[in-house]
Amino acid sequence: DQQVKQNSPSLSVQEGRISILNCDYTNSMFDYFLWYKKYPAEGPTFLISISSIKDKNEDGRFTVFLNKSAKHLSLHIVPSQPGDSAVYFCAGLELCIQEQGGADGLTFGKGTHLIIQP
Amino acid sequence: KAGVTQTPRYLIKTRGQQVTLSCSPISGHRSVSWYQQTPGQGLQFLFEYFSETQRNKGNFPGRFSGRQFSNSRSEMNVSTLELGDSALYLCASSLEGTAYEQYFGPGTRLTVT
């Protein structure tokens, strides 16, 4: 059972326009959602996160929106730049597992390959 | 501050062999997590170590094991390799296990032939 789904394997956007990456989840126990960015031959890099009690978090060109009722979140990148071309992973985190001495509880989606075209 | 380092970066093994991968976390970080990335399954959590103890384990067979040393360096071992074990193995470190402050290494690309 895939708890975090990124249904678009790839997305092509023109430079300067808005990129919208989507993520759906089934686990209502997630406390945080995180976005990671990954370039080829490098490990993922943390981008932005949002608490499950909020509906929006903004950091520069990156904004994450959370719709809990729809169990959907999205990452908006405005304006898109060539350096944004990468694979973006959405992940959910259950803090209660961590506090019980468990793992970090991160559950990743399969990623969306964002391609920014000049 | 040096980042997370993983060795080796690339590895080719034969079915049935075993392999050991190494991860050196960021200085001061006590938590090390391991992930497997494949095209079909994406990024999947293997296990996390904190202060030399395995805190939790993902849904992987017992052929996958790990350990952590007193200096927080961690090793991951896969025994009786199968073709399906071909993947990118990523290590991530964090200060106390706080997942949203994880820092990933570049990964070890394992190919099983």
3-state helix, strand, coil in chain A (%, to 5): 5, 50, 40
Give the minimum alpha-carbon distance from B104 to chain A in angstroms, rounded to a whole number.
5
pLDDT band for B100, please (50, 70, 90 cuts). Answer: low
User: Taking a C-beta distance cutoff of 8 angstroms, is the pair B64, B45 a contact?
Assistant: no
Q: Do A103 and B100 touch (CB under 8 A)?
A: no
Residue B42: what pLDDT?
82
Q: What is the pairing mode between strands B19-24 and B74-78?
A: antiparallel
Cross-chain residue pair A104–B90, CB shorter than 8 Å: no
Q: How many CB pairs under 8 A join A and B?
A: 74
CB contact under 8 A, B92 and A43: yes
What's the rounded mean pLDDT across residues A92-117?
A: 75
Q: With beta carbons under 8 A apart, name residues in chain B contacting A111.
A: 42-43
Q: By the 8 A CB rule, do B78 and B13 touch?
A: no
Give A94's contacts (C-beta < 8 A, 6+ positions apart).
A27, A29, A30, A31, A105
Q: Which of A46, A106, A111 sits opposite B45 (nearest CB)?
A: A106
Nearest CA in chain B to A50: B100
pLDDT at residue B3, as a whole number: 92
Burial of B30 (0-12, 13-18, 19+ CB in 10 A): middle
How does the average pLDDT of chain A come out, rounded? 90
Closest-CA residue of chain B to A39: B106
Residue B57: per-residue pLDDT: 80
What length is written for chain B? 113
Residue A49 near residue A16 (C-beta atoms within 8 A)? no
pLDDT of residue A101: 46
pLDDT tens profile A41-76: 788 888 999 999 999 999 999 999 999 999 999 999
Q: In chain A, whose CA is at the least distance from the CA of B51? A: A101
Distance of CA B50 to the CA centre of its chain: 13
**Cα within 13 Å of Cα(A27), Cβ side:** 20
Q: Which residues of B touch A23 (CB under 8 A)?
A: none
